[in-house]
Amino acid sequence: MTTTDDRTTAAAVDPGPLIKLTIADCAAKVLHSAVALGVFGALADGPADADHVAAATGLHERMAPDFLDALAGLGLLERTGTGTATARWPRRTSCRAPPRIWAASSS
């Protein structure tokens, strides 16, 4: 009697789709955090440095530059060599407060 093993070997499994989903989930969490903290509202009036964003949002001042870099890496902000950040969308599309659906779900 011959038996066959239908299990897929690890080498045959393509991890690409799972990796893409994981990265997308992380990106969504960064965006959600930025909206909940009011980062885009802090930048609605124009470019600002990490210290201004930290003071306006409650972000820890040591973490603010990295958080702004993460948002820039996602294409949501533009960063300059001097450390300022600018929202990529016009002021009228910036979120000063979390959308109602998020505000309602966090209570």
Tokens for 20, please give them.
């893409």
Taken as a whole, the chain contains a residue count of: 107
Q: Give the predicted TM-score (pTM) of the model.
A: 0.70
Per-residue pLDDT tens digits for 19-42 = 999 999 999 999 999 999 999 989
**48: three-class secondary structure by DSSP:** strand
**Pick from 68, 94, 70: nearest CA to 83:** 68
> Given pLDDT bands bounded at 50, 70 and 90, which one contains residue 5?
low
Residue 47 C-alpha from the chain's centroid: 18
Per-residue pLDDT tens digits for 39-67 = 998 998 889 999 999 999 999 999 999 99
The CA-atom distances, in angstroms, between 99 and each of 36, 38, 50, 75 are 8, 11, 23, 21
